[in-house]
A and B are shown apart, each in its own frame.
Chain A
Amino acid sequence: MDSIVIKNVTKEYSGKKVVDNLNLNIKEGEFYCLMGPNGSGKTTLSSIIASIRTQNSGTVEIYGKNPSKAKDMIGYLPQENFSDSSLTGRENLTYFARMLRYKRKEASPVVNDLINKIGLAEDADKRVSKYSGGMRKRLELATILFPGTKILILDEPTTGLDPSARRNFFGLIDIIKDETTTIILISHIGSDAENASRVGFMDDGKIIAEGTPDDLKNNSDLKTIINIETSIKNEKIMEILKGFSKGGKLHETEKGYKIYNNETEGIIPKIVKAVEEKGYKIIQIGSIIPSLEDVFFKLTGKSVREEKE
Chain B
Amino acid sequence: MNQISASLVKGIKDNLMSKSALFWVIAWPVLWLLLGVFVFLRGVPEEYLGLAKGQITISMITFSFMISGMTSLAATISEDRYKGLFYKLKSMPVQPWKESIGRILAVLFFSIMSIIIILIVGMSLGARFSFSTADLFKSICFLVLGILSSAGVGLIIGSLIKSVQGAIMTATGVAVITSAISGVFFDYSMLPKVLQTFARYWPMSSINNIIAYYLTGNEVYDTTSPLNLSLTIIISLIFFAAGLIIYTKYCWKNE
Q: A residues bordering B, Cβ < 8 Å?
A: 47, 50-53, 71-72, 74-76, 78, 80-84, 86-87, 91, 94-104, 143, 153
Which chain B residues border A91 with CB–CB below 8 Å? 10, 13
Instruction: Give the CA-CA distance A84 to B93 in the complex, in Å.
Output: 19
Closest Cβ neighbor of A143 among chain B residues: B88
Using Cβ atoms and an 8 Å threshold, which residues of chain A touch B89?
99
CB of B6 closer than 8 Å to a CB of A = yes
Residue numbers in A under 8 Å from B90 (CB-CB):
51-52
Per-residue interface assignment for chain B, residues 1 to 23, with 1 indicating a CB less than 8 Å from any chain A CB and 0 otherwise: 01101110110011001100000
Contact count band on B: 20 to 34
Q: Kindly identify which residue among B2, B6, B91 contacts A76, using a CB–CB cutoff of 8 Å.
A: B91
> With a CB–CB cut-off of 8 A, which chain A residues contact B190?
none
* A52 pairs with B5, CB closer than 8 A: no
Given A82-B84, A82-B85: A71 and B3 interface contact (C-beta under 8 Å): no
B5 touches A98 (CB 8 A): yes
Q: Quick one: which of A51, A80, A99, A102 has the most chain B CB within 10 A?
A: A99
Which residues of A have CB within 8 Å of B91?
47, 50-52, 71, 74-76, 153
Instruction: A143 to B83: give the CA distance in the assembly, Å.
Output: 15
Which chain A positions have C-beta within 8 A of B10? 84, 87, 91, 95
Report whether B92 and A86 are in contact in the complex, using a CB–CB cutoff of 8 Å: no
Give 19 new A-B contacts, CB below 8 A, not counting A99-B6, A104-B2: A52-B90, A72-B93, A75-B91, A80-B83, A82-B85, A84-B10, A84-B85, A86-B18, A87-B14, A96-B6, A97-B6, A98-B3, A98-B6, A99-B2, A99-B7, A99-B89, A99-B92, A101-B2, A101-B3
Is B35 part of the contact surface with A, judged by Cβ < 8 Å? no
Question: Main SS of the interface on chain B?
Answer: helix
B239 to chain A, nearest CB (A): 27
B21 to chain A, nearest CB (A): 11
Query: How far is the CB of B76 from the nearest CB of chain A, in Å?
Result: 10
B255 CB-CB contact with A under 8 Å: yes
Closest 8 CB pairs of A and B: A98-B6, A76-B91, A86-B17, A71-B93, A50-B91, A80-B84, A82-B84, A82-B88
In the complex, what residues of B have CB within 8 A of residue A76's CB? 88, 91-92
Per the 8 Å Cβ criterion, residues 76-123 of B in contact with A are 83-85, 87-94, 99
Contacts of B255 in A (CB 8 A): 53
How many Å from the CB of B164 to the closest CB on chain A? Answer: 14
Assuming the contacts A50-B91, A52-B91, asked whether A99 and B3 have C-beta atoms less than 8 A apart, the reply is yes
Whether the Cβ atoms of A103 and B13 lie closer than 8 Å is no
Contact A78 B13 (CB under 8 A): no
Given known contacts A86-B13, A95-B9, A101 and B84 CB-to-CB distance under 8 angstroms: no
Would you call A84 and B14 a contact (CB within 8 A)? yes
Q: Out of B6, B18, B84, name the residue touching A95 (CB < 8 Å).
A: B6
**Cα separation A12 to B99 with both chains bound (whole Å):** 30
Residues in B whose Cβ lies below 8 Å from that of A104? 2, 5
A274 to B5 Cα, complex, angstroms? 70
- Pick 7 A–B contacts, CB within 8 A, sort by A: A76-B92, A78-B84, A80-B84, A82-B84, A86-B17, A94-B6, A98-B5
* A247, B114: Cα distance in complex, Å: 72
* Least CB distance, A74 to chain B, in whole angstroms: 6
